Amino acid sequence: MAKRIALEFDGGKLFQAELLESLAPETCRQVWDALPIAEELGHGLHSGAVLNVHTAALAVRRYENTAVLGMQRGDLFLDLRLLNEEIRGGWQEIRIIYGPATFFSPQIGYAPCNGFATIVEGSLAELRAIGSAVHRRGYQRITIRRVEG
């Protein structure tokens, strides 16, 4: 059985995602080893319906299972390019897709990201509502942890 992670948002909304270890083994290993991650949840500026979790806990340096277009609601990605100390201070960004999205930055163009998990439990309509609320009202907290057993 695939390893699972839990995403818990403000207000107790809980989702489970399966790691895509066969497609992104290094990304999945680092995410799993870094858990739990408790951070602010923000909204993407240029990519569309994307929630962002910035963390210094990851240092993935290999592209695997990348995409810039065609992501589905409930997919999770890791943006590696943000590890650049000069640009972003050494953190990477977990991206949670809640609607139409394209990984694009006006400064550098398309930004391939590693797809590492897919939400398999929880309402994707509720995920969209969370994304819309963060977009309108600003940050909230998220905790990402292992699902044991």
Question: Which of 58-62, 64-68, 76-80, 125-129 holds the top average pLDDT?
Answer: 125-129
pLDDT reported for residue 84? 54
Residue 107: pLDDT above 80?
Answer: no
Range in 1-5, 12-16, 45-49, 51-55 the model is least confident about? 45-49
Go through the domains of the chain in sequence order and give each one's CATH number. Answer: 4-147 (2.40.100.20)
The number of helices, as runs of H, and strands, as runs of E, in the chain is 3, 11
**Nearest CA-CA partner of 127 in 7, 33, 44, 5:** 7
Give the torsion sign (CA, 27, 141, 18, 45): negative
pLDDT reported for residue 69? 80
Chain segment 67-88, per-residue pLDDT in tens: 888 889 999 999 887 555 555 5
pTM of the model: 0.92
Beta bridge partners of 50: 97
Contact yes or no for 110/103 (Cβ under 8 A): yes
